[in-house]
Amino acid sequence: MEIFLSVWLVPGLILLGKILAFVVPLILSVAYLTYAERRVIAAMQMRRGPNTVGPFGLLQPFADAFKLLFKEPILPTQANSVIFLLAPMITFTLAFVAWAVIPIDAGLALADINVGILYLFAISSLGVYGIIMAGWASNSQYAFLGALRSAAQMVSYEISMGFVIVTVLLTVGSLNLTAIVEAQKTIWFAIPHLPLFVIFFVSILAETNRAPFDLPEGESELVGGYFVEYGSIPFALFFLGEYANMILMSAMTVLLFLGGWLPPLEILPFTLVPGFIWFFAKIALILFCFLWVRASFPRYRYDQLMRLGWRIFLPFTLIWLTLTAIVLFAFDLLPDPNLPPGL
Amino acid sequence: MELFANPAPILTALAFWVLSGVLVGSALAVVLARAPVHSVLFLILCFFNAAGLFLLLGAEFLAMILVVVYVGAVAVLFLFVVMMLDMELVALREGFLRHLPLGALLALVLLAELILTAIGWHAAQDLRFVSATVATAVPFAEVGAEVSNIKMLGAVLYDDYFLLFQASGLVLLVAMIGAIVLTHRTRPGVRRQEIAEQVLRPAEARIHANNPPIGGGVDWDV
């Protein structure tokens, strides 16, 4: 019995605690991201935004959550019920499992694996399934159109994202996320790879189906796109998943281009602030840009969206990858291949 | 109780049985499912569990690539196409018995190949893994412990089998160009946006100020 306690129960509980330490703050951030979105966009459009529930409207996310929880879940009669209910669960789960490898400070990750960035890329490429399954299972024209749009859009932008990641990997010489951040000690990759940083930011807008690439939802033409048939808790799962994905993609941008938990300069006032605060501040900055873009730009037309992905981003990232390889090789800057695995 | 003192082998075994069980089950379901969309979804589940098995083997790079390429891209397009098809379910069922001999033959060939590979793998246990960049010559089975997956693959692909690797890339390129040539057709009368033309047009050609007489209208020739 003692063995059971010390070998199975205690480590299991510690692991569970660690997971909860990641997930609970994440859910809270998602809740307040929705609040921040409404307040920020309201400020940009000279409105007030939610300000009645609690002080400064701070309890608004909880009011919304409880409202959704107490609504009746409706299952369309013509829907394929298993897939219909599976789809929001997939979206929600995928947005959270990716956090297992994200280091929020030096050595502070649930799992610091060798192929960290590939894992992130793999999980984010699965995100399309929640949407496409929802669209198909709803058995509705609007939802199906939304799902088709989103499938094509997400697959297209993943390719340029892949090339951006490969270029960063070439500069670092490792797929480990900690190594990627440590390699930015001298200079953040946003500076030498500035065009890639911009392309990556635009691509994550498309990947998370955010404005100006929110065609899968397209409320003015497709009613609500792929989640038009959803209500109550399944809808809440989609909603939470989408916002958690935004935070995840921002974290990915910060890790790849903005030096993760590293302070902007290695001098005194900056080094006093703990690394994870820097990490969260940078994520907040990227998230603010998400909201800023939504308040500023009209929606893209679908063929223009495809053109941007395939005919501008894809060739450009390919050329930049080749250029990076040439420069690294010519100036003998290629990372040392004899480092131990994982560094 | 001693049996449970070390959780790692038990969890590994459990993971193996769960992953391979679901893998075999969903592979069967791919063939037996009535709706084509369900088949594709089960196929995706298959890929996913295969990636899990790769992870158990310590081949984390292959596992991730399997998910990125097959689940994230190939299966999405597959699902995309199958969802768009309006297939008659009864007609699909009919061919089952007719194609059974051919299917069984293919399955037998694959099984024979797998058995041969397994025997060969067993014989190769004491082969030495020698590569130009990965200088350590260690038994094939233990090489993963010393060098990371990606470096090993890179050394084999880009140093030892460079030409073959390039040749396989060329084969893919030819296939891609072939597919484009075969399916691409220029349809007349399709309105397309010419971005370069739009951008290069001078301002005078874009905006035209008019002062039409009342009831006269304008001649529109832009």
ipTM of the complex: 0.81
Q: In which band, very low, low, confident or very high, does the pLDDT at A314 lie, cut at 50, 70 and 90?
A: very high
Query: Is the bond preceding residue A335 a cis peptide, omega within 30 degrees?
Result: no
Closest Cβ opposite residue A121 in set B68, B147, B150: B68
Alpha-carbon dihedral of residues A38, A40, A41, A42, nearest 10 degrees?
80
Other residues' Cβ atoms within 10 Å of the Cβ of residue B47: 19
> What's the total number of domains in chain A?
2
Are A341 and B64 an interchain contact pair (Cβ–Cβ within 8 Å)? Answer: no
Are A303 and B44 an interchain contact pair (Cβ–Cβ within 8 Å)? Answer: no
Place of tokens 């001078």: B202
Q: Would A279 be classed as within a structural domain? A: yes
pLDDT of residue A342: 42
A45 and A183 inside one domain: no
Quick check: B68 contacting A, CB < 8 Å?
A: yes
Q: Residue A242 sits in which domain range?
A: 74-330
Tokens matching residue A167: 């270029």
User: Dihedral of CA A195/A201/A207/A212: which sign?
Assistant: negative
pLDDT of residue B135: 46
Selected residue of A3, A163, A176, A303 to mutate for chain B interface (largest B Cβ count, 10 A): A3
Q: Would A36 be classed as within a structural domain? A: yes
* Cβ contacts of A8 on chain B, cutoff 8 Å: 4, 7
Quick check: B148 contacting A, CB < 8 Å?
A: yes
A156 and A174 inside one domain: yes
Q: Would A124 be classed as within a structural domain? A: yes
Quick check: B190 contacting A, CB < 8 Å?
A: no
Closest Cβ opposite residue A118 in set B2, B68, B133: B68
Q: In which band, very low, low, confident or very high, does the pLDDT at A341 lie, cut at 50, 70 and 90?
A: very low
pLDDT of residue A340: 46
pLDDT of residue A343: 41
* Cβ contacts of B176 on chain A, cutoff 8 Å: none
Are B151 and A114 an interchain contact pair (Cβ–Cβ within 8 Å)? Answer: no
A203 and A291 inside one domain: yes
| CA–CA separation, A15 and A38 (whole Å) | 35
Tokens matching residue B197: 């033309």
A200 and A316 inside one domain: yes
Residue A132: closest C-alpha in chain B: B80
Those residues whose C-beta lies under 8 Å from the C-beta of residue B1, and which sit 6 or more positions away, are A1, A3, A4
* Cβ contacts of B149 on chain A, cutoff 8 Å: 114-115
Quick check: B37 contacting A, CB < 8 Å?
A: yes
Those residues whose C-beta lies under 8 Å from the C-beta of residue B109, and which sit 6 or more positions away, are none
Are A126 and B77 an interchain contact pair (Cβ–Cβ within 8 Å)? Answer: no
A96 and A37 inside one domain: no
Are A307 and B195 an interchain contact pair (Cβ–Cβ within 8 Å)? Answer: yes
Q: Say if residues B82 and A132 touch (Cβ distance below 8 Å).
A: no
A310 and A179 inside one domain: yes
* Cβ contacts of A158 on chain B, cutoff 8 Å: 72-73
| CA–CA separation, A160 and A177 (whole Å) | 20
A87 and A55 inside one domain: no
Selected residue of B2, B37, B69, B148 to mutate for chain A interface (largest A Cβ count, 10 A): B148
Q: Say if residues B167 and B138 touch (Cβ distance below 8 Å).
A: no
Q: What is the pLDDT of residues A195-214, one digit of tens each?
A: 999 999 999 998 888 878 88
A6 and A138 inside one domain: no
A259 and A132 inside one domain: yes
Are B80 and A132 an interchain contact pair (Cβ–Cβ within 8 Å)? Answer: yes
- Residue B112 φ then ψ, to 5°: -60, -45
Are B65 and A307 an interchain contact pair (Cβ–Cβ within 8 Å)? Answer: no
Are B71 and A126 an interchain contact pair (Cβ–Cβ within 8 Å)? Answer: yes
Quick check: B9 contacting A, CB < 8 Å?
A: no
* Cβ contacts of B2 on chain A, cutoff 8 Å: 3
* Cβ contacts of A118 on chain B, cutoff 8 Å: 61, 64-65, 68
Q: Say if residues A333 and A248 touch (Cβ distance below 8 Å).
A: no
- Beta bridge mates, B139: B128
A142: left (phi over 0), alpha (psi -120 to 50) or beta: alpha
CA distances from A43 to A37, A287, A293, B195, B203 (A): 10, 16, 14, 35, 35
**Which residues in A264-283 are b (16+ Cβ under 10 Å) and which e?**
eeeeeeeeeeebeebbbebb
Quick check: B29 contacting A, CB < 8 Å?
A: no
Q: Would A340 be classed as within a structural domain? A: no
**Residue A80 pLDDT greater than 70, yes or no:** yes
Higher local confidence (pLDDT), B58 or A97: A97
A256 and A273 inside one domain: yes
| CA–CA separation, A214 and A224 (whole Å) | 10
Q: What is the pLDDT of residues A157-198, one digit of tens each?
A: 888 899 999 999 888 888 888 888 888 888 888 888 899 999
**Residue A98 pLDDT greater than 90, yes or no:** no
Domain boundary (A15, A41, A70) is at A70
Are A341 and B83 an interchain contact pair (Cβ–Cβ within 8 Å)? Answer: no
Q: Would A14 be classed as within a structural domain? A: yes
| CA–CA separation, A94 and B48 (whole Å) | 13
pLDDT of residue A163: 92
Q: Would A106 be classed as within a structural domain? A: yes
Q: Would A341 be classed as within a structural domain? A: no
A172 and A66 inside one domain: no
Q: In which band, very low, low, confident or very high, does the pLDDT at A108 lie, cut at 50, 70 and 90?
A: confident
Higher local confidence (pLDDT), B151 or A35: A35
Q: What is the pLDDT of residues A299-309, one digit of tens each?
A: 888 888 888 88
Domain boundary (A16, A49, A70) is at A70
Residue A119: what residue type? Y
pLDDT < 70 positions in chain B: 1-5, 86-96, 122-147, 219-222
Helix (H) or strand (E) segment spanning residue B214 = none
* Cβ contacts of A121 on chain B, cutoff 8 Å: 64, 68
* Cβ contacts of B41 on chain A, cutoff 8 Å: 83, 133
Q: What is the pLDDT of residues A259-295, one digit of tens each?
A: 888 888 777 777 777 888 888 999 999 999 999 998 8
Query: What is the nearest CA distance from B99 to chain A, expressed in angstroms?
Result: 29
pLDDT of residue A319: 93
Tokens matching residue A133: 């399954």
| Burial grade of A32 (CB within 10 A; 0-12, 13-18, 19 or more) | middle
Q: Would A336 be classed as within a structural domain? A: no
Q: What is the pLDDT of residues B82-99, one digit of tens each?
A: 887 766 665 666 666 777
A86 and A174 inside one domain: yes
Closest Cβ opposite residue B148 in set A1, A114, A307: A114
Domain boundary (A20, A53, A70) is at A70
Q: What is the pLDDT of residues A221-250, one digit of tens each?
A: 767 777 777 878 888 888 888 899 999 999
Are A122 and B71 an interchain contact pair (Cβ–Cβ within 8 Å)? Answer: yes
